[in-house]
């Protein structure tokens, strides 16, 4: 008899951990996300081990993201961000569509922050600040990247200066996210998410991101940060245009562009290798090899300048089997194919996203 009683006791807990047709009554918007189960923590690995540290923020544990939680039923998406923000802000971004979205938050008509986006262009965001209990839910205006309109959602935030274990929660109708025949779940079955801590004022950035940002975050809130990592939640695996609700474990539907923890390597020049070790003589030697390392998901370019700042040529990317670095080369010729004069030249490496630049000096000798 005792075994039967225990079995009946645990069945509701097991059912609560998976999606269903209607789980609305399980959620209480009080700024404490304890109604979410462990299987609804999504910044985790396949075994449910947290991938977001409780204290990896540049500003310490009192301005730190701890977890993103997600589940859904046939009608709603349920989300929570566990964090502490002492006098600062928490923002959760949603990227679904590829035909519009937020690119540079400095240019937005509201919530202007020092964030640019690469690899994703959020279509919605949920944002609040310390001690504010009413988050704001914003939709980027269709076809634009600089205008957002506030729309209604059921939400609540419990952040209270210096208090740990608090959350921003929201219940969002799927019909708000998938709002017409073009923007439908059959064509866009996944939602990409990223959460940020930001300073309190306009044109500021912040110290922590979940999942980890590939290029790291900012100690100085005046620094522009390029957000380029995300997690992706697959709602509709069978392609029928409706969220799968037949007992899905949400964490099993999560993937990452780059799985955390991520050690930020914006761009490091590993070596500038001359064929004979001292300098480069284009009359007798093959190319200079320039090797650099980056875990930023960006396209890179290299240009060659003389000491007067005049562009003399471009480096050329060489395909290699290496996964962790790139090799570029320069043959010592200018844009017209002529050997450049002897002297010192500057190799400028920069990213397509615009925020990363590195220089290296090279010598062309007799």
Contact 92, 230 (CB under 8 A): no
pLDDT the model gives residue 323: 60
pLDDT the model gives residue 268: 80
Domain architecture of the chain: domains with CATH: 15-256 (no CATH), 268-364 (2.60.40.1930)
pLDDT the model gives residue 9: 41
pLDDT the model gives residue 1: 36
pLDDT the model gives residue 366: 63
The percent of the chain in helix, strand and coil, each rounded to the nearest 5, is 10, 35, 55
pLDDT the model gives residue 317: 85
Structure tokens at 54: 């409780």
pLDDT the model gives residue 285: 57
Determine the straight-line distance between the first and last CA of the chain, rounded to whole angstroms.
93
Spatial separation of the C-alpha atoms in residues 323 and 251, rounded to whole Å = 28
Report which DSSP code applies to 131: T
Cβ-in-10-Å burial (0-12, 13-18, 19+) of 152 comes to: exposed
pLDDT the model gives residue 14: 42
Structure tokens at 45: 């690995």
pLDDT the model gives residue 95: 98
pLDDT the model gives residue 172: 98
Residues of the chain with pLDDT below 70 are 1-17, 274-286, 297, 319-324, 366
Sheet holding 311-314, edge to edge: 311-314, 300-306, 343-351, 357-364
């Amino acid at each position: 008899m005792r075994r039967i009683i225990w079995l009946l006791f645990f069945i509701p807990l097991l059912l609560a951990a998976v999606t269903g047709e209607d789980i609305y009554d399980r959620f209480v918007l009080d700024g404490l996300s304890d109604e979410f189960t462990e299987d609804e923590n999504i910044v985790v690995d396949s075994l449910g081990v947290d991938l977001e540290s409780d204290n990896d923020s540049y500003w310490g544990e009192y301005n730190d993201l701890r977890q993103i939680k997600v589940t859904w039923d046939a009608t709603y998406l349920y989300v929570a961000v566990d964090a502490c923000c002492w006098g600062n802000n928490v923002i959760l971004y949603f990227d679904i569509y590829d035909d519009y979205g937020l690119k540079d938050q400095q240019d937005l008509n509201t919530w202007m922050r020092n964030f640019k986006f690469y690899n994703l262009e959020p279509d919605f965001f949920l944002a609040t600040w310390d001690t504010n209990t009413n988050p704001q839910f914003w939709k980027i205006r269709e076809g634009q990247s600089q205008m957002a309109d506030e729309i209604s959602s059921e939400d609540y935030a419990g952040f209270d200066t210096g208090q740990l274990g608090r959350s921003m929660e929201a219940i969002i109708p799927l019909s708000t996210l998938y709002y017409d025949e073009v923007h439908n779940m059959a064509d866009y079955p996944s939602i990409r998410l990223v959460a940020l801590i930001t300073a309190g004022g306009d044109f500021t950035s912040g110290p922590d991101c979940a999942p980890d940002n590939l290029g790291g975050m900012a100690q100085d809130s005046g620094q522009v940060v390029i957000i380029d990592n995300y997690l992706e939640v697959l709602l509709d695996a069978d392609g029928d245009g409706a969220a799968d609700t037949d007992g899905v474990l949400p964490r099993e539907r999560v993937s990452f562009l780059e799985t955390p923890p991520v050690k930020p390597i914006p761009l490091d020049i590993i070596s500038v290798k001359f064929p004979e070790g001292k300098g480069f003589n284009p009359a007798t030697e093959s190319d200079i090899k320039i090797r650099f390392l980056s875990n930023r998901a960006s396209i890179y370019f290299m240009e060659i300048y003389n000491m007067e700042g005049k562009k003399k040529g471009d480096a050329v990317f060489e395909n290699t089997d290496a996964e962790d670095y790139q090799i570029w080369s320069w043959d010592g010729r200018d844009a017209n194919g002529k050997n450049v004069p002897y002297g010192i030249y500057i190799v400028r490496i920069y990213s397509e996203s615009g925020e990363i630049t590195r220089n290296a000096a090279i010598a062309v000798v007799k």
